[in-house]
């Protein structure tokens, strides 16, 4: 089932939680809605689910206009951040709930429901846990049961609102890899909300970056990381080092420094050059921009060199890969800094 969101808007008083959002989600895709707190992720997910009416625009499920249909009519599977399992029901009863509560005419018989529950218990790798109660499960196991419960109804789409938000970091990573494998098995069209860029980049086929209720960029994780469409996306995804300067005739120059950099297509005027810390090379003084090493931080697999670049207001970080025999500049040393891969945006 593919999904189309066309010109969707949602206001709360004077706040535009969603502002003219257009998005197509292909059948079988796993899509992440990513953005900082308040960017509209949850509002968009709830509008897709039918939990919240849109003020403007349409939501299409395949060829069906679902804008005015309820959650139940849309037949979506929804998983909340906090495991919303029924505490007085066993795991198997929780999973069966959506099927058992269907009107009699559409309710499968007992044996079919039992078979479906067994299949789902196997799928979430908890085959022996059907008779347990939620309080007898770990946080990660509860979220897997919540997912099985959402899948039990053969949903048109699976919608997950920060599904791993309440879990500790290690379990989060395990579960997201598990979810990716599960998705590869089921091919279920899935939309999930996260504010964790690692989670979005690792898990999703495509990432939708939201900002103040608008879509800032949609792309594959690689596109979002390697070719951010704006300074906002560059800053939000991964680490960024920045040089201030000006663009004239498609070239970027930092003030008072030799050399200029490609800024094709960027309007003349004040601008910033953004790069990933590992996309800068440090050489001898005169080989690139004049800079002084202000600190060196050694991490497990990389060395972070903090630089004061002449004429620049802020600190600049360049990463070196910690390979054997690497020459690390010492604090106070004068060096030449060369941006290798970068993007320039107007300010
Ligand atoms: N019920 C509400 N009443 C008033 N304003 C709301 C309501 N729900 C959301 N908002 C506002 O709408 C905007 C978008 O909120 P939303 O919850 O969709 O953001 P989010 O990206 O999911 O944030 P978070 O990561 O913090 O959950 C915010 O400015 C928020 O304050």
Mutate which of 9, 13, 14, 15 for ligand 1? The one with the most ligand atoms within 8 Å of its CB, which is 15
pLDDT of amino acid 288: 92
The fourth-level CATH superfamily of domain 3-231 is P-loop containing nucleotide triphosphate hydrolases (3.40.50.300)
> Which CATH class name applies to 239-346?
mainly beta
Q: Interface pTM (ipTM) of the complex?
A: 0.95
248 Cα: distance to centroid of ligand 1 (angstroms): 40
State pLDDT tens for residues 291-318.
999 999 988 788 999 999 999 999 999 9
322 Cα: distance to centroid of ligand 1 (angstroms): 42
pLDDT of residue 63 exceeding 80, the answer is: yes
- Nearest residue (by CA) to ligand 1, atom 13, is 17
State pLDDT tens for residues 161-189.
998 887 888 888 888 888 898 899 889 99
Mean pLDDT along residues 9-34: 96
pLDDT of amino acid 190: 96
50 CB within 6 A, ligand 1: no
Q: Percentage of the chain with pLDDT > 70?
A: 100
State pLDDT tens for residues 100-151.
988 888 889 899 999 999 999 998 889 999 999 999 998 889 989 999 999 9
Element at 34 (helix H, strand E): strand 30-34
**For residue 146, which of 209, 103, 95 has the smallest C-alpha distance?**
95
pLDDT of amino acid 302: 87
Mean pLDDT along residues 11-15: 92
How far CA 29 is from CA of 5, 26, 43, in Å, comes to: 15, 5, 20
Mean pLDDT along residues 252-277: 94
Domain ranges of the chain: 3-231, 239-346
- DSSP for 254-317, please give it: -TT-S--EE-TTPPSEEEEEEE-GGGEEEESTTSSEEEEEEEEEE-SSEEEEEEEETT-SSEEE
pLDDT of residue 83 exceeding 70, the answer is: no
pLDDT of residue 250 exceeding 80, the answer is: yes
pTM given for the model: 0.87
């Amino acid at each position: 089932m593919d999904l189309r969101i066309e010109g969707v808007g949602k206001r709360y008083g004077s706040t535009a939680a969603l502002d003219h959002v257009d998005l197509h989600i292909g059948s079988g895709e796993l899509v992440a809605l990513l953005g900082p707190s308040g960017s509209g992720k949850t509002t968009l997910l709830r509008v897709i689910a039918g939990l919240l009416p849109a003020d403007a625009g349409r939501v299409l499920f395949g060829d069906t206009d679902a804008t005015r249909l309820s959650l139940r009519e849309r037949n979506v599977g929804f998983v909340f951040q906090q495991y919303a399992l029924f505490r007085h029901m066993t795991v198997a009863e929780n999973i069966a709930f959506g099927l058992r509560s269907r009107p009699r005419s559409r309710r499968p018989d007992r044996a079919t429901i039992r078979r479906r529950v067994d299949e789902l218990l196997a799928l979430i790798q908890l085959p022996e846990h059907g008779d347990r109660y939620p309080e007898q499960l770990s946080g990660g196991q509860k979220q897997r049961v919540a997912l099985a419960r959402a899948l039990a109804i053969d949903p048109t789409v699976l919608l997950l609102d920060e599904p791993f938000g309440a879990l500790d970091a290690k379990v989060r990573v395990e579960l997201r890899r598990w979810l990716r494998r599960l998705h590869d098995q089921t091919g279920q069209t899935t939309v999930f909300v996260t504010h964790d860029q690692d989670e979005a980049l690792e898990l999703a086929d495509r990432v939708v970056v939201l900002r103040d209720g608008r879509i800032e960029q949609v792309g594959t994780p690689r596109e979002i990381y390697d070719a951010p469409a704006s300074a906002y996306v560059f800053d939000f995804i991964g680490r960024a080092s920045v040089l201030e300067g000006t663009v004239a005739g498609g070239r970027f120059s930092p003030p008072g420094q030799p050399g200029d950099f490609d800024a094709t297509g960027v309007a003349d005027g004040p601008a910033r050059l953004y790069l990933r810390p590992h996309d800068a090379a440090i050489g001898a003084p005169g080989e690139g921009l004049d800079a002084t090493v202000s600190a060196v931080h050694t991490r497990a697999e990389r060395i972070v060199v903090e630089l004061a670049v002449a004429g620049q207001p802020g600190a600049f970080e360049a990463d070196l890969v910690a390979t054997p025999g690497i020459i690390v500049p010492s604090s106070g040393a004068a060096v030449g800094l060369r941006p290798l891969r970068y993007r320039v945006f107007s300010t």
